[in-house]
Amino acid sequence: MAIHTDLTPSESADRLAIRELFDAYAHCADRRDAEGQKALFTTDTRFAVYMDGDRAEPTYVLEGREALTPVFDDLNRYDATTHFNGQSTVTIDGDRATGESYTIAHHVFSEEGSRKIMVASLRYLDTFTKLDERWYFAERKLILDWSETRSLTAPSAA
């Protein structure tokens, strides 16, 4: 934690914009706005996915904004998603920033006549960059800490 003796109107604006960037990712994902979601990234962005926590090498890496298309399109197979955002801790250094942000992503789907939910507990380690007054994801490391698939069928009364 840094000591913040004063938070200038300029830094406050940067912090708000970066938080809105984090939340816009969730909004675009949940509303299936793949183009809007891609526009949050720099054209030469790097998106690295760690499916087994952050101790190992990335499971896969996507290079460049266009490489994100199949990832975001894949959300269309769910009946509903909820990218629920928690804390986001950001350190700003001029036109660059880094942060750790928590998301629990809920994915509702149907399988063999049964309704289910897959829950993914994610942390994003991000690098942000400011270009022409606007903040973008320059790099995202997505870390899956744990996941769970449950039936959405109500338990019996007993």
Q: Which residues bind a second copy (CB under 8 A)?
A: 1-10, 12-17, 20-24, 26-27, 30, 53, 79-80, 82, 84-87, 89, 100, 102, 104, 106, 108, 111-112, 114, 116-117, 121, 133-134, 145-146, 148-152, 154-155, 157-158
Distance CA 105, CA 82 (A): 6
Q: How far is the CB of 106 from a second copy (least distance, A)?
A: 6
Q: Which is nearer to a second copy, 57 or 157 (CB)?
A: 157
Q: How far is the CB of 130 from a second copy (least distance, A)?
A: 10
Q: Which is nearer to a second copy, 59 or 70 (CB)?
A: 59
Sheet containing strand 96-111, edge to edge, reads: 60-63, 41-54, 134-151, 114-131, 96-111, 80-93
Distance CA 28, CA 111 (A): 25
Q: Which residues lie below 8 Å from residue 45, measured CB to CB, with a gap of 6+?
A: 64, 65, 68, 136, 137, 138, 139, 140
Q: How far is the CB of 20 from a second copy (least distance, A)?
A: 5
| 3-state SS class at 135 | strand
Q: Which is nearer to a second copy, 30 or 47 (CB)?
A: 30
Q: How far is the CB of 47 from a second copy (least distance, A)?
A: 19
